[in-house]
Amino acid sequence: MAEASQLWKFRGDSPATAMAIGGQGRYGAVGSRRGGIVFLGQDGRPVWRSSGINDVRDISLAGSGRAVLVASGDNTIHYLDQRGREMWHRSLNHAATTVGVSRRADLIVAGLLRGSLHAYNRTGKLLWEHRPGGTDFCINDVAISANGQYVAVGTDYAHIYLYSANGTVLWSTETTGKVLETRISSNGDYISYLTDDQRIYFAVKNSRLVWEYRFDRQPLWIDMVGTADFVVVGETPRKVSVFSKSGRRTWSFKLQTPCTVGRLAQSGGNILVGGRNGEAIMLGIEAYLARLLRQTQRLVERARTDGLDAHEAEQEIFSAERALEDGAHQNFLDTIARVKNAVQEAPVARKAVAETAGGGGDCSNCGTSNQPGFQFCGGCGQKLEQGCPSCGTPLQPGFQFCGNCGTQI
């Protein structure tokens, strides 16, 4: 079982109660009850500290840290810029338990201990308020899609909600337990959530449940990559597992230090974990991404063996290899998705080839219609134009490669 690689470690003075990681995994933020907030750079060294904010309940980063949103137990949410300067704060009637922010910081949503939601724009203007279910049950977590179009909300009321950006409830679903954490994909198409009865769920935007998984003990945290290709679960303080989009546990690794909090970068290549000992550890999971690459390569090989046109998929595989080598994790996952689409569409392309290639067709000299397989016209005897065996493009005499797809003749 391959292990994640440790990129850096930071030792704080207080146990971590909240964490956030930048979209590309280059930055991290750690909050605690008494030690304020520390914003960490690519090497794990503090870029800035904010000791004036205590009892940190939750942290959310916009993009790679252009804005830092903080929910604190003193009935306040704080908006800090990338240098740690507080741009504004809002006092609330009750303690803020959770906060979420879109990639561009144009939508900010805070959840409160006594069951209400408050949405703001980047200047701190209140956009809307709502009380899910009309109850006073605690809002445990909010997650905003990177594009700012959707908000997933989990509550002690044993319900999960999906809101539009303007505060309209699109749907709500009763769950088997309190919803402790929620995650939503970058485009809002997929939602995952963790309940207090040892279950995780994976659903689509219309609320349809795709799969669920029940553990032997209560997991500590979950997160989901922005493309929704996989979900990461902190099963125990020392074990992290990865579940595929289909609900299979495909990879696990052990932590050297017990960690109770964890966050996955939306780009998918890094995980930030921490716990009661005050440490924050940035981990690289390129070993898992390399596993995804090998699986996709085998998919392309099977398509080629089945006689399908895998040329486009092979070109995308080359691009995926380069992206992984360069550490461009988001680009890698996007390219892997294109490879799978190319393979799925290959049978259609192959069918078109079978209808156009292999001789036959109308004679360009006399117009006679010839059966497939004919090399010469049955009406005038002229040699018929041949098509590329891969894509069917007409070929001229002397061609050694197809001018359309590059296949050797």
**Residue 402: predicted pLDDT:** 73
**Percentage helix, strand, coil for the chain under 3-state DSSP, each rounded to 5:** 15, 40, 40
**Which tokens hold the place of 26?**
């280059």
**Spatial distance between the Cα atoms of 262 and 238, rounded to a whole number of angstroms:** 11
Long-range interactions of 197-202: CB distance < 8 A, separation 24+: 200/231, 200/233, 200/243, 201/175, 202/231, 202/243, 202/245, 202/247
**Spatial distance between the Cα atoms of 320 and 73, rounded to a whole number of angstroms:** 44
**Spatial distance between the Cα atoms of 163 and 143, rounded to a whole number of angstroms:** 10
**Spatial distance between the Cα atoms of 31 and 12, rounded to a whole number of angstroms:** 10
pLDDT digits (tens, 9 = 90+) for 283-317: 999 999 999 999 999 999 999 888 888 889 999 99
**Spatial distance between the Cα atoms of 182 and 161, rounded to a whole number of angstroms:** 10
**Residue 374: predicted pLDDT:** 66
- The three-point CA angle 45-48-50 to 5° equals 130
Structural domains of the chain in order of their starting residue, each with its CATH number: 5-284 (2.130.10.10), 291-355 (no CATH)
CA R_g for the chain? 27
**In Å, how far are 2, 7, 30, 173, 325 from 286, measured between CA atoms?**
10, 11, 23, 35, 10
**Residue 356: predicted pLDDT:** 46
**Residue 290: φ, ψ to 5°:** -65, -35
The residues of the chain scoring below 70 in pLDDT are 1, 347-362, 364-365, 367, 371-375, 384-401, 403-409
**Which residues are CB-contacts of 384 (< 8 A; sequence separation ≥ 6)?**
359, 360, 361, 363, 370, 374, 375, 376, 377
**Residue 347: predicted pLDDT:** 67
**Spatial distance between the Cα atoms of 357 and 190, rounded to a whole number of angstroms:** 42
**Which tokens hold the place of 353?**
């080839």
